[in-house]
């Protein structure tokens, strides 16, 4: 039974990779404006930017979410995000940017491939962030105990 489940899982992963738009970009099957590349990552201009200079940082290897990526990849992502953010500030003259990552469909992940958005921000761009809520009585303590 484990062998059959493993075969099904391998098939599903292969299916996702074969039909993944970001895998096709990594492989050069779909053109994209690449601005950064390493052995593990590429960064491209988003084809539908929130603001001009909106970048996508993609893993070259297909991981559906950050939970699947190795520590080395995650470390390189941190360095690349830092480098790309500095480029936005120095070369585009923006004073701030958002780094966005949606982990899973319920969190807004549309393409199931590990990727980060780096969005230049301007004082008058009218982009809104989420609205915070208050914890119910005792809720914060329960959450704290579960997460510690």
70-101 pLDDT per residue, tens = 999 999 999 999 999 999 999 999 999 999 99
Catalytic residue numbers read: 115
Give the CA distances from residue 108 to residues 50, 65, 69, 111, 136, in Å, rounded to whole numbers and listed in that order: 15, 12, 19, 9, 25
**Over 60: is that where the pLDDT of 113 sits?**
yes
What pLDDT, on a 0 to 100 scale, did the predictor assign at position 16? 54
The predicted structure's pLDDT at residue 18: 73
Q: Which residue has the tokens 């119910």?
A: 136
Question: In the block, which residue shows the tokens 């970009």?
Answer: 25
Residue 7 DSSP symbol: H
pTM above 0.95, yes or no: no
Instruction: Please state the rounded mean pLDDT for residues 15-23.
Output: 79
Rg (CA), the chain: 18
**Cα 119 to chain center, whole Å?**
12
The CATH T-level fold of domain 2-125 is: HIT family, subunit A (3.30.428)
Backbone angles phi, psi at 15, to 5 degrees: -60, -45
Task: Check residue 10 and give its pLDDT.
Answer: 43
């Amino acid at each position: 039974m484990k062998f059959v489940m493993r075969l099904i899982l391998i098939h599903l992963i292969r299916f996702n990779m074969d039909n993944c738009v970001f895998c096709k970009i990594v492989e050069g099957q779909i053109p994209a404006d690449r601005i950064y590349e390493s052995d593990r990552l590429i960064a491209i201009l988003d084809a539908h930017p929130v603001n001009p200079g909106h970048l996508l940082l993609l893993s070259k290897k297909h991981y559906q979410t950050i939970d699947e990526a190795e520590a080395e990849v995650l470390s390189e992502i941190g360095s690349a995000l830092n480098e790309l953010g500095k480029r936005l500030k120095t070369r585009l003259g923006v004073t701030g940017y958002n780094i966005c990552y949606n982990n899973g469909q319920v969190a807004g992940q549309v393409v199931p491939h590990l990727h980060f958005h780096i969005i230049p921000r301007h004082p008058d761009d009218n982009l809104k962030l989420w609205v915070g809520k208050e914890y119910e009585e005792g809720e914060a303590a329960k959450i704290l105990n579960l997460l510690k």
